Amino acid sequence: MAEDFSKAVDDGLRLSKRIYFGKDRAVAPPRPQPSMARSSTALLPSAAMVYAVICDPGIVDNPDIPSYQPHVHGRCDPPALIPLQMYAIEMEVDCHHDTAFVTVSGTWRLHCIKGSRSCDCRVAIPMGLQGSILGVEVRVPRKSYTTELVVLEDDKGNQNIAPPQNGGFLVSNIFTLTIPQIDGGSNLSIKIRWSQKIAYSNGMFSLNVPFNFPDFVNPAGKKIPKREKIRINLDAVTGGELLCKTISHPMKQVRRQAGTMDFVYESDVLAWSKVDFSFSYAVSSSHMTGGVILESASAHDLDQRELFYMYLSPGDIRSEKVFKREIIFLIDISGSMHGKLIEDAKSALLAALSKLNHHDSFNIIAFNGETYLFSKSMELASEDAVERATEWINVNFVAGGGTNISRPLNTAIEMLSNAQNSVPIIFLVTDGTVEDERQICAMVKNRMINGESICPRIYTFGIGLFCNHYFLRTLATFGRGQYDAAIDVDLIEPRMLTLFDKASSLVLANIKVDSLDDLGELEVYPSHIPDLSSEGPLILSGRYRGNFPKALKVEGILADFSNFVVDMKIHNAKDMPLQRVCARDQIEHITAQAWFLENKQLEQKVAKLSLQTGFISEYTRMLLLETDYLKKVKESKETSKKSDGGGQRMILLPHLGIGFGNLSATVENTPPGYKSKLPEVPEIFKAATSCCEALLSYCCCMCCIQCCSRLNNQCATALTQLCIAVGCFGCVTCCSEICCSGNEG
């Protein structure tokens, strides 16, 4: 899909050469870079953008200055996408601990369609790390569009719901939405909201928001003002001193208090921003710190229990304070992992092995329908062992066969059952779904309850959409590890290494929170507390009834197996929207619980939380609500006539959840992202001669000779005239193509 989108934009840029901007060549839009100088996905959006969806190339023209170019015959199949010019952009980012809420407002003009014609417009929204779309609002002349979440069962009988339109996720971090039939020359005012995570590494928080606009969205005109504005409101929650490290744009600090900072950037520019907005900061602390934020439920909250948000930060931890590593890599080598998937997984595994210290130990288990062990016992990570492991990987990592997770997982758990002076880790990587997932989770849960003081931690990594990500999340939760995924196969290696860095940098294990047993109806997410890593804070959230303790302690075991206690600071939430900050993680954890327990009440709980907070879920659907103001006014005047829609129409979008895996695709060894190959589509301009080529392709030369030998004189004359006409028509089409690529009026 990403390659198809990029190709459609490339076609749109070629088609936009028809647009006449006047005699001043300085206002002509810049040419895109040559196709040989860019990748197949180079034209994917790197900031919020809007595209005109072109099916009929004949409607492409300047709505203000008609060029009267020759008509273009044929249609664009698939449709071309012409990027619209942007006239204003503003962004505000609210950061709360590890979560950022981004709001982007902008104005785009449909500059490439005749004023008497209309076309669909596609909004594309790239988001940052683990981005989640929250809402889109669009205003055009006479109409407005707003996204809403619904439980689909409630709308089965609603006649105003249109069938699903083009939309959804182009890739895991790019959301698209189609706005139907906008008149040429119209301005689109768009407001976009999403949330994303703030990365943490080496004691520093880093925020990156897509804000890199290509040259061809700059308005074609010398005197058109361009003003961009960025505001960031930072609430680090911890209350410590904030140290600003790097920033991409020349921001001005407008407020600073303990744990909070506000910055503003506003400037008139010659061209829109050419870099993403990035901001990094550190919280000054040389030791582990933690706190709890409390918030009472609002009057409109469906759950009237109190909320809490608990965080534990690693501080500036030296490498020698990290637990010794005993790690077993479980790597899926089933048939669906062939090609790029297994090569990227292999590269990430080799990079992970190179990061092990000499006193660490490891093993590798490759699995499909069978199980293949690198060694019958754990190996010290010496240079010789890593070299032998590399040779073994190159020989045995051959994709083929089915998928059996239970057998290699049991083997790894047994192998690590006698681990000493370390936190043993199982690192599972798979792209498939298996039938006994709930039994596997139940087995791990029972082992963790009845097992030794430090049970093997299970870190899970899912690839693509055919694996059950909620199974992997549940397995990691019961195993007191963490879960991550690469929905896009291009992200396998960096995401795997990020998860490995977290797993191999544990600084506090067997974490317990005292004094919470007296609270009523207590819920904590995740239900099993994972270990604290130096590569990110530990966050717990939940609900309770009763009085929260005035003092709270968190206990754990350090790398030298000594006990450690952290006194938690407790304070009430002020400007922090606690429920929205916790909502996404809670939705994902409760969805995993609902899957594991097959509990309909938990599914309904997820749906209600999704509707209340605006975060998408597996049990809700997003729709686009269209309001036609002219129709609304007309219906309001016709008081005698009942209005069923009030000038409103609902357009249902495709399901936005990641689903619960695909067992049949796993059995058939279908690789992630695979789609059946469609017949070759026609070129953007289909010449009339193609019809003749298609017709003649069914006839051999001898058939043509025999047919022509039986024609009389009159028929032969008519056929000759027809061929001449078709040839002239083809020449006219070629001329029109030349006009498309270079005519300036």
DSSP letter string over 587-644? Answer: HHHHHHHHHHHT-HHHHHHHHHHHHHH----TT-EEEEEEEEHHHHHHHHH-TTS--S
- pLDDT on residue 29: 52
Measure the CA–CA gap between 602 and 342, rounded to whole angstroms.
Answer: 36
Query: Which of the residue ranges 64-68, 202-206, 309-313, 333-337 would you say has the lowest mean pLDDT?
Result: 64-68
- pLDDT exceeds 70 at position 708: no
Most confident of 132-146, 222-236, 313-327: 132-146
Which percentage of the chain shows pLDDT scores above 70? 82
Q: Which of 236-250, 455-469, 688-702 has the lowest mean pLDDT?
A: 688-702
Domains with residue ranges and CATH for the chain: 1-283+656-661 (2.60.40), 325-509 (3.40.50.410)
Q: pLDDT per residue over 526-538, tens digit each?
A: 999 999 999 999 9
Annotate 379-393 with three-state secondary structure.
EECCHHHHHHHHHHH
pLDDT at 48 over 60: yes
Average pLDDT score, the chain: 85
Query: Residue 738: which pLDDT band, with cuts at 50, 70 and 90?
Result: very low
Is pLDDT of 43 > 70? yes
Give the residue from 599, 593, 332 showing the smallest Cα distance to 470. Answer: 593
pLDDT, average across residues 580-603: 96
Name the helix (H) or strand (E) containing 715.
helix 713-742
Least confident of 15-24, 270-279, 583-592, 654-663: 15-24
Note the Cα 234 to chain centre separation in Å.
23
Strand ranges, E, within 198-241: 199-201, 204-209, 227-235
Among 194, 204, 192, which Cα is nearest to 94's?
A: 194
Count of C-beta atoms within a 10 Å radius of residue 453: 8
178-220 residue pLDDT tens: 999 999 999 999 999 999 999 998 888 999 999 999 999 999 8
Which residue would you say has higher pLDDT here, 521 or 146?
146
- Quick one: pLDDT band at residue 699, thresholds 50, 70, 90? very low
Question: What are the pLDDT digits (tens) for 387-427?
Answer: 999 999 999 999 999 999 999 999 999 999 887 788 899 99
In the structure, what pLDDT confidence band is assigned to residue 716 with cuts at 50, 70 and 90? low
pLDDT 10s digits, 70-82: 777 788 889 999 9
3 state DSSP class of 562? coil
Cβ within 8 Å of residue 641, ≥6 positions away: 635
Please give the average per-residue pLDDT across 148-153, as a whole number: 86
Preceding peptide of 526 cis, ω within 30°: yes
Residue 638 has pLDDT above 80, yes or no: no
Helix segments in 355-482, DSSP class H: 383-396, 406-415, 437-450, 469-478
Q: Give percent of the chain with pLDDT exceeding 90.
A: 62
Of the candidate ranges 228-242, 542-556, 708-722, the one whose mean pLDDT is the lowest: 708-722
pLDDT of residue 678: 38
pLDDT of residue 34: 60
In this predicted model, what pLDDT tens digit does every residue of 482-522 receive, in sequence order? 999 999 989 999 999 999 999 999 999 999 998 787 888 89
> Does pLDDT of 705 surpass 70?
no
**Mean pLDDT of the 638-661 span:** 76
Residue 461 burial (10 A CB sphere; 0-12, 13-18, 19+)? buried
Q: Is the pTM of this model over 0.75?
A: yes
pLDDT at 711 over 70: no
Average pLDDT over residues 683-702: 39
| pLDDT for res 454 | 78
Residue 703: pLDDT over 70? no
